[in-house]
A and B are shown apart, each in its own frame.
Chain A
């Protein structure tokens, strides 16, 4: 089945630094990837939709200058948290959909990466 690799799985950084998280689709191509944020004991909140070869689409309330998204190829999207602050500490999860999955037999089904737990000191 589809596999999404996310790296790093956890990172601790100092306040004010930037952190890059990578999301790769290993055995399929993904023109679109999704970045979610999950605070402890809460649901997944969509941050942005990453589009290969074009600008990402950000959800309301998500600062595009703070959460930089790059989708340079069909198998890689990156999320960079710039000038991180303690309130940015969270679990960041990427997901992707196999564009070749037939419609109706699981269309819109997402495969999630393992997540990246960010702690900003």
Chain B
């Protein structure tokens, strides 16, 4: 499957600061999905982006899909301790998903 690179691997922020994680691919992505995995938990679907340049918002979370459909980002405004976890992007081609390496977010209260 396609290689989806995700950065940064880890991010420590102070509560209230913003946070962004990026996914990049060398080839065009058919779509991009974002999942959140809390410590000790399982991945939970957040959103899917399909269209070039698409931007979607969920409260403090903003998801973007690049114009060339080769990159995506997840931005969290004013992080809270409940945002702690690992955020994965994933590309769904056909019937399966290929996950990025994930960005582990830690929030200091």
- A108 partner residues in chain B, CB cutoff 8 A: 31, 33, 48, 92-95, 97
- CB of B42 within 8 A of CB of A115, answer yes
- CB of B96 within 8 A of CB of A34, answer yes
- Dominant SS among interface residues on chain B: strand
B-side interface residues toward A, CB under 8 Å? Answer: 31, 33, 41-45, 48, 50, 88, 92-102, 104
- B99 partner residues in chain A, CB cutoff 8 A: 43-45
- CB of B96 within 8 A of CB of A46, answer yes
Chain A nearest CB: distance from B63 CB in Å?
14
- B45 partner residues in chain A, CB cutoff 8 A: 109-111
| Chain A: interface residue total (CB-CB under 8 A) | 22
> In this complex, what residue of B is CB-closest to A91?
B42
Cβ-closest 8 pairs across A and B: A108-B92, A112-B42, A115-B42, A43-B101, A44-B99, A43-B99, A112-B43, A43-B102
- B48 partner residues in chain A, CB cutoff 8 A: 106, 108-109
A71 interfacial by beta-carbon distance below 8 Å: no
- Give Cα A45 to B88, complex, Å: 12
